[in-house]
């Protein structure tokens, strides 16, 4: 920890170039032990302020163990991540809106076909009835 109480990135815990070359990043999994003496989980923050930052937390939350794995992102990175997140959520909303509009169009077409069919039927019945008079 530094003077602000924030845990800085520990380069001793990072994989060596040889480990990355041989196994890639996916196989490297740093570990921490919480105060319950259990292996803490590495999680990723989803809050606006710390979006994408990784941290360790107790599996059971009994001991309230919490430790940042990496340092804080620069302000510009947080800003860009939040912009991308907003655009992603906007696109998801747009996709849902498009899906709802397509369903509405399909049901409107079906109702239109039914009403045209009923109108044609009524015209045939009326013309038949008028022809009998």
pLDDT digit string (tens) for 45-89? 888 778 778 889 987 888 989 998 877 667 787 788 888 888 888
DSSP state of 53: -
**Average pLDDT of the residues in 95-106:** 94
Q: Check: CB of residue 90 under 8 Å from CB of residue 83.
A: no
Q: 32 with 39: CB under 8 angstroms? A: yes
- How many secondary structure helices (H) and strands (E) does the chain include? 2, 3
Contact, 40 vs 31, CB < 8 A? yes
Digit-coded pLDDT (tens) for 1-54:
445 555 444 444 555 545 544 444 444 567 888 888 888 888 888 887 787 788
Residue from 36, 38, 37, 32 nearest 56 by CA: 32
Can you read off the two tokens belonging to residue 89? Answer: 């959520």
In angstroms, rounded to a whole number, what is the distance separating the alpha carbons of residues 54 and 66? 11
Q: Which residues contact 113 (CB under 8 A, 6 or more apart)?
A: none
Report the Cα–Cα distance between both ends of the chain, in Å, rounded.
100
Over residues 85-99, mean pLDDT: 90
Asked whether the beta carbons of 104 and 95 are under 8 A apart, the reply is: no
pLDDT at residue 29 in the model: 60
pLDDT of residue 11: 46
């Amino acid at each position: 920890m530094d003077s602000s109480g924030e845990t800085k990135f520990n380069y001793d815990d990072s994989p060596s170039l040889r480990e990355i070359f041989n196994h890639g990043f996916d196989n490297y999994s740093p570990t921490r032990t919480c105060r319950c003496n259990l292996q803490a989980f590495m999680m990723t923050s989803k809050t606006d302020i710390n979006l994408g930052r990784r941290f360790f937390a107790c599996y059971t939350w009994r001991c309230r163990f919490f430790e940042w794995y990496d340092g804080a992102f620069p302000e510009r990175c947080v800003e860009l991540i939040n912009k991308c997140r907003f655009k992603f959520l906007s696109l998801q909303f747009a996709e849902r809106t498009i899906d709802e509009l397509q369903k509405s169009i399909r049901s409107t077409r079906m109702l239109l076909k039914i009403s045209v069919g009923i109108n044609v039927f009524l015209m045939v019945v009326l013309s038949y009835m008028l022809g009998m008079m």
